[in-house]
């Protein structure tokens, strides 16, 4: 499968999600989609990022935007994470790195002196026609939601 490119149609992909969602990208034609990739459920940065999306959900809804968080965690982990923080959007499980590879977010990271493969915190904006119109890589959580909303407005 090829990688996504700016201003090009994003290939359809399927992932399992919370609330028994069987996610197909093509099912969301006609809406903006924000897909944010994060390293791990229930870690401080990932929790803060999810809470930021939650606190701004009404702004996104007014702009016809669907939000999906993606990590390699299991559906069970996602369900627990979503329930604990009351996230009003679905989390998608990508243990086989289907979307991670498509969006090229798996990077070598240095964790406490060890090199590990992990998800680089990244966000992608897909327009109602299915085209990738904006990407943020190496995201810093603070202020990130405002950057996304600025592009959408």
What is the band of 1 on the pLDDT scale with cuts at 50, 70, 90?
A: low
pTM, to two decimals: 0.93
* pLDDT of res. 15: 96
Is 46 a catalytic site residue? Answer: yes
Structural domains of the chain, ranges and CATH numbers in brackets: 14-152 (3.40.30.10)
pLDDT tens track for 68-89: 999 999 999 999 999 999 999 9
Ranking 80-89, 94-103, 109-118 by mean pLDDT, the lowest is: 109-118
Catalytic residue among 15, 33, 46, 105: 46
CB 70 within 8 A of CB 100: yes
């Amino acid at each position: 499968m090829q990688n996504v490119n700016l201003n090009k149609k994003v290939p359809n992909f399927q992932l399992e999600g919370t609330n028994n969602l069987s996610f197909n990208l093509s099912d969301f034609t006609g809406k903006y989609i924000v897909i944010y990739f994060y390293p791990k459920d229930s870690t401080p940065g990932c929790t803060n990022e999810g809470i930021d999306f939650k606190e701004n959900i009404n702004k996104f809804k007014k702009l016809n935007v669907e939000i999906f968080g993606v990590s390699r965690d299991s559906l069970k982990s996602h369900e627990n994470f979503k329930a604990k923080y009351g996230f009003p959007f679905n989390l998608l499980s990508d243990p086989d790195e289907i979307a991670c590879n498509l969006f090229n977010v798996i990077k070598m990271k240095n964790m406490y002196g060890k090199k590990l493969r992990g998800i680089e915190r990244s966000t992608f904006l897909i327009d109602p026609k299915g085209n990738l119109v904006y990407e943020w890589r190496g995201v810093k959580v603070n202020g990130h939601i405002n950057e996304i909303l600025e592009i959408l407005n």
